[in-house]
Structure 1
Amino acid sequence: MTTIKTVAVLGATGNLGPALVQALHDANFTVTAITRANSSNPTPSTFPSDVTVKSVDYTSPEALRAAFTGQDAVVSAVATPALGIQIAAIDAAVAAGVKRFIPSEYGVDTRQAVGTTVGNILAKKIEVVEYLQEVVKKGTAPGFSWTGLSTGLFLDWGFDFNGLGVIDLKEKKATIIDSGNEKFYTSTLSHIGRSVAGILLHPDETANKYLATASHNFSQNELLAVVEELTGTKFAVIHEKSEDLTRVGLEKLAAGEPIAFIYFLRTWNGTDGIGHGLTEEESDNALVGVPYEDTKAEVQRWLERAGAGVSTVNKRESYE
């Protein structure tokens, strides 16, 4: 029986890192936050006082091994530009005797993306999972295992960034791809943190598996309906065709523009018939002990953060 007590979070100061640190700490793991030496991201003052913080040169295998020594698990939250360092991090984790490595997957389920344009863009993520599978298959690292985790779009971050590419609160308009009825799954940052903690609380059940969890599963039209209900405002609707977005995305990809990925991500979730939703029954939420959450409540929190004026009646009803 595997026991995980100490956990290092690699990339602890990025968009997701602080939520992982907090959730692992809340689950009573001993947490070490590993930050990149000379990082432009300051160490969050919100880290619990008993979280150890280490500044490490990510390009040094020796420094990574030293940082991982004494850790039962390493959870990677490195951003897209740094995905390539994970191969060296895996080798360092194996050398340090780490029992579990969770790569920086989260978002799109890369198992579904293999052979697609999205998969080509996320090739580094796919390579890392394949490398982990190979390490375990070789049998040269006894006691070592991995878990991949897809969680869909980062919901609260995506809301604050651009309304998930669907809702424009300032202009009171919604941009809907195709019919708008295709469901897609999303997760709050805190949900992702709890899912990772759940994986490590159930190490034997989750070993060498690729899991998918979510806190919400809805369509563009369902999201729009909730926003309109809570704001008491009718939004103007703009319809876009998925094939047009794909064409523009390919043009931008050919031109080397990073924003191309946003176009493909939108069609990945919104194209009619694409089938990238995830119901609670289909998910691995039960396995890691994390339930789905109330979409209306999460949208309300976003509207309040944005100062969008949740209507008095709906605000009262949402708490009843």
Structure 2
Amino acid sequence: MSSAPLTNIIIAGATDSVGAPILSALLAEPSFNTTILTRASSSAKFPTGVPVKSVSDAYTVEELTSAFEGQDAVVVALSTTPVTKDDLALRIIDAAVAAGVKRFVPSEFGADNLDPRARKLVPVYDSKGRTLEYLQKKAKESNGALTWTSFACGSWLDWALDPAKSGNFLGIDVKNKSATLWDSGNNNFTITTSGNTGLAVVRALLKPEETTNKQIFLSDFVTTSNEIIASLEKQTGVKWNITKRDSKPELLTLRKRFDEGDYNATYPLLTLSFVADVDVGYDFPKERRIWNEQLGLPAQYLDKVVKEAIELANRS
């Protein structure tokens, strides 16, 4: 396995909710030559001066291989639905192998997608788990030519509390001071800010030997729905309007919708994987090695993230 630094980095999904903070962190690192991969039909706007490579909406292996030539690392930050449909994730891996890419970062950024608890509850976790298993297989077959690093970061609370970005993903509406509380509201789940997630990707790529073929678990802090709402009520000085709901019938309905081909059920299922009384292994510090300190990530706290969300809501 080469110990040469990873210099040329290409990112797919640079303007999506997952990709935007990662792109910002990549562009802030002067030792990287960052390139953006996009669809030819995309109307997305990219930072001036950043090289862009376009492929057709078909994302063929041949096109992707050509785009990846000369790249040391591929970072996949495509949003949940596109990357898990039509074997796109597998084609991207095949193209990386064909192009001689050294490091591959799959579009994980949530649960431990190898954990059977997560895979049983949410179909997209199972799909991403199969992708990571395929990546591991291809890396092994390459005898070290291709390596990988994946990231599990829990939920992005800063993103989740910004309705313009997430549509009130966790069911918490800062602007209207209301929230849906599922079950007890005491389910523990990991929070990593979007900024720290992007920084973690950069720091991991800067330490290729330490992060070779590793699942990187991140956690700024662990919290619950009740704790988030309590912080919001304390800082706004207002008692919020709370609606309590039982997740069991909702989970059954959402899973039936998804199994019948309604992919709009994906995000509600993801939401409940965090805030309902279910165990998908999201209390990372309890079970996993956390990399925040090793990667030099700045400390983040619940009250700080909540304060910034309230300030954003007041400005909007």
Do they superpose with TM above 0.5?
yes
Which secondary structure state, in structure 2, belongs to the residue aligned with residue 23 of structure 1?
helix
* Partners of 2:314 and 2:250 in 1: CA distance: 30
Q: Which of the residues 33, 36, 51 maps onto 2:36?
A: 33
* Worse-superposed segment, 189-198 or 172-181: 172-181
- TM-superposed deviation, 1:209: 1.4
Which secondary structure state, in structure 2, belongs to the residue aligned with residue 165 of structure 1?
coil
Alignment match, 1:293: 300
Alignment match, 2:90: 87
Runs of 4+ aligned structure 1 residues displaced above 6 Å come to none
Which secondary structure state, in structure 1, belongs to the residue aligned with residue 185 of structure 2?
coil
Q: Which of the residues 255, 262, 278 maps onto 2:267?
A: 262
CA contact (8 A) 2:18 2:79 kept: no
Residue 283 of structure 2 aligns with an amino acid whose one-letter code is G
- TM-superposed deviation, 1:35: 0.9
- TM-superposed deviation, 1:126: 1.6
Q: Which of the residues 196, 201, 218 maps onto 1:196?
A: 201
* Partners of 2:188 and 2:117 in 1: CA distance: 21
Unaligned runs of 5+ in 2: none
* Partners of 2:284 and 2:243 in 1: CA distance: 26
Residue 27 of structure 2 aligns with an amino acid whose one-letter code is H
Which secondary structure state, in structure 2, belongs to the residue aligned with residue 307 of structure 1?
helix
Could you report, residue by residue, the CA deviation over 1:225-245 in whole angstroms, capped at 9, with x for unpaired residues?
A: 111111111112222223233
Alignment match, 2:61: 61
Alignment match, 1:243: 248
CA contact (8 A) 1:136 1:144 kept: yes
Of structures 1 and 2, the one with the larger relative CO (CA 8 A, separation 6+) is: 2
* Partners of 1:7 and 1:200 in 2: CA distance: 9
Residue 278 of structure 1 aligns with an amino acid whose one-letter code is F
Could you report, residue by residue, the CA deviation over 1:5-57 in whole angstroms, capped at 9, with x for unpaired residues?
A: 11000122222222212101212211001111112x4123xx2x442122223
- TM-superposed deviation, 1:162: 3.7
Q: Which of the residues 143, 153, 156 maps onto 2:145?
A: 143
Amino-acid identity (%): 33
* Partners of 1:277 and 1:102 in 2: CA distance: 23
Q: Map 1:151-230 onto structure 2 (within 5 A).
A: 151-160=153-162, 161-230=166-235
Alignment match, 1:71: 71
- When normalised by structure 2's length, the TM-score is 0.86
- When normalised by structure 1's length, the TM-score is 0.85
Alignment match, 2:12: 10
CA contact (8 A) 2:34 2:51 kept: yes
Alignment match, 1:52: 51
Change (3 A) 1:245 1:142: same
Which secondary structure state, in structure 1, belongs to the residue aligned with residue 277 of structure 2?
coil
Change (3 A) 1:114 1:85: farther
Q: CA RMSD in A?
A: 2.5
Which secondary structure state, in structure 1, belongs to the residue aligned with residue 37 of structure 2?
strand
Unaligned runs of 5+ in 1: 310-320
CA contact (8 A) 1:157 1:189 kept: yes
Could you report, residue by residue, the CA deviation over 1:130-169 in whole angstroms, capped at 9, with x for unpaired residues?
A: 111111222x354210111111223332212343423223
Change (3 A) 1:155 1:241: same
CA contact (8 A) 1:118 1:261 kept: no
Could you report, residue by residue, the CA deviation over 1:187-223 in whole angstroms, capped at 9, with x for unpaired residues?
A: 3322221111111011111111112113342111110
* Partners of 2:244 and 2:205 in 1: CA distance: 43
Alignment match, 1:128: 131
